[in-house]
């Protein structure tokens, strides 16, 4: 399983690098088409071994029996964490592929933004605990609107993950509120490492990361995907930040769904 994970991870990395290289030739239409096609095929291809790995994981767990399970459990758990990491990565690549092919579709439904925020924060509890961050949610009351709940959740989880990751273990504040009659606003505020002014304009680009923070690990796709989702919903995403003081990411969305 470990060898499979390493191979799949290496493949995923190559996809990312190839995509980055191809995008240097952004003007050449053929290169762009090739890049999009490659990304689509490669990310779909990566899905298959991952599904098989998850299945095998379950089979191994059952096959080793009660006694063996105690011995191999830590390793199985590690393998599963790696598989989940890869799954998230492949899902990101698939999203990038969908975006570049213009196939990011939304399915708006009536939901409550406040509830969506609380749900996302609840599910992230362990991530915050591990990062040593406390998190506070401030929502004034129901915030009904029409949004694609999975895609909205994806944006929230991305901003929350970043707040935990770059938040230097300090408190995180998540606020949601109406903005005028037609819009809502969600902000995620951390008091962490912050972002240098010269990096701010690039952060929402594909594979872009703050120059000074390479040692944190990550592909630089979360904010790109989040921005594309928010754009598709007819909203806007913005960041204010000061190095050493922290960052606030704010998403504004119209309530009448797209």
Residue 203, phi then psi, degrees to nearest 5: -60, -30
Instruction: Show contacts with ligand ADP in window 198-257 (CB under 6 A).
Output: 203, 209-210, 213, 218-224, 247
Any idea what DSSP says for residue 108? Answer: -
CB of 62 to ligand ADP, least distance (A): 34
Helices (H) and strands (E) in the chain, counts: 7, 7
Give how far Cα 94 sits from Cα of 24, 32, 42, 88, 90, Å.
20, 16, 9, 10, 6
CB of 247 to ligand ADP, least distance (A): 4
Which residues contact residue 232 at a Cβ distance below 8 angstroms, ignoring those fewer than 6 apart? Answer: 104, 106, 151, 258
Torsion 5-131-221-48 (CA) sign: positive
Instruction: Show contacts with ligand ADP in window 168-207 (CB under 6 A).
Output: 190, 192-195, 203
Instruction: Kindly tell me which of 1 and 248 has the beta carbon lying closer to ligand ADP.
Output: 248
CB-closest chain residue to ligand ADP: 218
Instruction: Kindly tell me which of 145 and 222 has the beta carbon lying closer to ligand ADP.
Output: 222
- Binds ligand ADP by CB under 6 A, chosen from 42, 166, 230, 251: 166
Instruction: Kindly tell me which of 112 and 190 has the beta carbon lying closer to ligand ADP.
Output: 190
Interface residues toward ligand ADP, by CB under 6 A:
158, 162-163, 166, 190, 192-195, 203, 209-210, 213, 218-224, 247
């Amino acid at each position: 399983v470990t060898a499979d994970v390493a191979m799949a991870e290496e493949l995923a990395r190559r996809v990312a690098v190839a995509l980055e290289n191809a995008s240097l030739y952004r003007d050449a239409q053929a290169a762009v088409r090739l890049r999009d096609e490659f990304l689509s095929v490669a990310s779909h291809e990566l899905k298959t071994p991952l599904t098989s790995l998850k299945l095998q994981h379950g089979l191994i767990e059952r096959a080793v029996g009660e006694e063996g399970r105690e011995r191999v459990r830590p390793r199985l758990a590690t393998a599963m964490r790696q598989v989940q990491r890869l799954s998230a990565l492949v899902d990101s690549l698939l999203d990038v592929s969908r975006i570049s092919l213009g196939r990011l579709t939304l399915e708006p439904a009536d939901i409550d933004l406040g509830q969506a925020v609380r749900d996302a924060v609840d599910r992230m509890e362990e991530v915050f605990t591990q990062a040593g961050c406390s998190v506070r949610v401030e929502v004034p009351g129901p915030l009904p609107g029409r949004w694609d709940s999975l895609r909205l959740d994806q944006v929230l989880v991305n901003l929350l993950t970043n707040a935990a990751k770059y938040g230097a273990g300090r408190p995180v504040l998540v606020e949601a509120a109406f903005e005028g009659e037609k819009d809502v606003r969600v902000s995620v505020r951390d008091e962490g490492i912050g972002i240098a002014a010269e990096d701010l304009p690039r952060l929402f680009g594909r594979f872009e990361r703050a120059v000074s923070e390479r040692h944190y690990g990550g592909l630089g796709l979360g904010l790109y995907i989040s921005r594309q989702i928010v754009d598709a919903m007819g909203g806007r995403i913005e960041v204010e930040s000061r190095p050493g003081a922290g960052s606030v990411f704010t998403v504004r969305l119209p309530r009448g769904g797209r």
